[in-house]
């Protein structure tokens, strides 16, 4: 008997880099990294709707992201190829509703792909194991394996070596991006010169999370050097220096996520986080008030 598929609605959360050290350029052109990643409440949504006719089609709420280069499209195409009889896969319309700013260092596209892989594996009953999904995810993009795993994770290699860490203690997060600024990850890595290769030491960050202590965590952000890519990106895009200063004027310690241009700061109090997000928005930035996901349930216990 054929089982009827139900519609599925899934969230794809943004990722951010609490710290990012670029260790070296590899012969394959990628860079060897060490990073601590976490997920945010800010998220995209994917909807799978069963269709009478076989095959799949893709819709994106942002027309500029609705092409075949969209990582959700690539995820669906890769999974369909892996099916024994692709023509027999249950028909599905895959809709992506965007909310996470694109090309901002927040892993929106990677998270969308990870969510699509998990959801389609279940919708099409492909029976792929978590390891199969991680391997497939790595073919789509360096951040996809992390997005499949989620949580507070120490990430190494090109992005595919993942070590789970204790959950980052819950924080409110203020996130801001200057208006109309989008950066391609490939271009940011491409302009890295030896002079930019400052290597933040992530040990104090890692110990603070392992010991679940907020004070050394905040001290680490106050130190200011959290991301190898930051100096290179600011040198090309001076408005980012002014964005950093806006955070500092609000008494916050900003850090850049991934290859930028989004900056974030951790906050303990909702009142101060809300006031800061509003001030950054009034200064003309795209600003968001969000929170970290991993420590959410711990906080409620």
Q: How far is the CB of 30 from ligand C5P (least distance, A)?
A: 4
Q: How far is the CB of 22 from ligand C5P (least distance, A)?
A: 8
Residue 15 or 244: the one with the smaller Cβ distance to ligand C5P is 15
Residue 97 or 189: the one with the smaller Cβ distance to ligand C5P is 189
| Cβ–Cβ under 8 Å, residues 4 and 185 | no
What sign has the CA pseudo-torsion 159, 28, 72, 67? positive
Residue 51 or 198: the one with the smaller Cβ distance to ligand C5P is 198
Catalytic residue among 15, 98, 118, 149: 15
Residue 110 or 226: the one with the smaller Cβ distance to ligand C5P is 110
Q: How far is the CB of 228 from ligand C5P (least distance, A)?
A: 11
Active site residue 118: no
Catalytic residue among 98, 118, 143, 244: 143
Tokens of 171: 């924080």
Q: How far is the CB of 71 from ligand C5P (least distance, A)?
A: 9
Q: Give the interface with ligand C5P as residue ranges (CB under 6 A).
A: 30-31, 33, 141-143, 158-159, 185-186, 189
| Cβ–Cβ under 8 Å, residues 192 and 229 | yes
Residue 25 or 214: the one with the smaller Cβ distance to ligand C5P is 25
- Chain residue at closest Cβ approach to ligand C5P: 142
Q: How far is the CB of 259 from ligand C5P (least distance, A)?
A: 7
Contacts of 31 (CB under 8 A, 6+ apart): 22, 23, 24, 25, 158, 189, 192
Active site residue 219: no
Catalytic residues: 15, 143
């Amino acid at each position: 008997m054929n089982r009827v598929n139900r519609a599925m609605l899934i969230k794809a959360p943004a990722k951010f880099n609490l710290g990012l050290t670029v260790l070296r350029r590899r012969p394959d052109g990628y860079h060897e990294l060490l990073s601590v990643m976490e997920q945010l409440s800010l998220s995209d949504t994917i909807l799978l709707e069963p269709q009478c006719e076989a095959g799949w089609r893709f819709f994106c709420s942002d027309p500029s992201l609705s092409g075949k280069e969209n990582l959700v499209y690539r995820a669906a195409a890769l999974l369909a190829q892996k099916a024994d009889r692709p023509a027999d896969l249950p028909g599905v319309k895959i809709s992506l509703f965007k909310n996470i700013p694109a090309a901002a260092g927040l892993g929106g596209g990677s998270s969308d792909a990870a969510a699509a892989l998990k959801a389609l594996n279940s919708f099409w009953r492909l029976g792929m194991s978590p390891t199969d999904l991680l391997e497939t995810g790595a073919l789509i993009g360096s951040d996809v394996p992390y997005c499949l795993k989620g949580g507070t994770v120490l990430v190494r290699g090109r992005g595919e070596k993942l070590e789970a860490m204790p959950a980052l203690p819950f924080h409110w997060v203020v996130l801001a991006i200057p208006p109309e600024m989008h950066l391609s990850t490939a271009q940011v890595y491409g302009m890295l010169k030896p002079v930019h290769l400052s290597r933040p030491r992530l040990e104090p960050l890692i110990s603070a999370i392992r010991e679940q202590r907020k004070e050394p965590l905040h001290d680490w952000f106050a130190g200011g050097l959290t991301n190898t890519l930051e100096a290179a990106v600011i040198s090309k895009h001076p408005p980012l220096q002014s964005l950093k200063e806006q955070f500092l004027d609000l008494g916050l310690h900003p850090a850049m996520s991934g290859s930028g241009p989004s900056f974030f700061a951790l906050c303990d109090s909702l009142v101060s986080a809300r006031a800061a997000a509003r001030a950054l928005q009034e200064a003309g930035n795209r600003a968001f008030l969000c929170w970290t996901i991993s420590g959410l349930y711990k906080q409620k216990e």
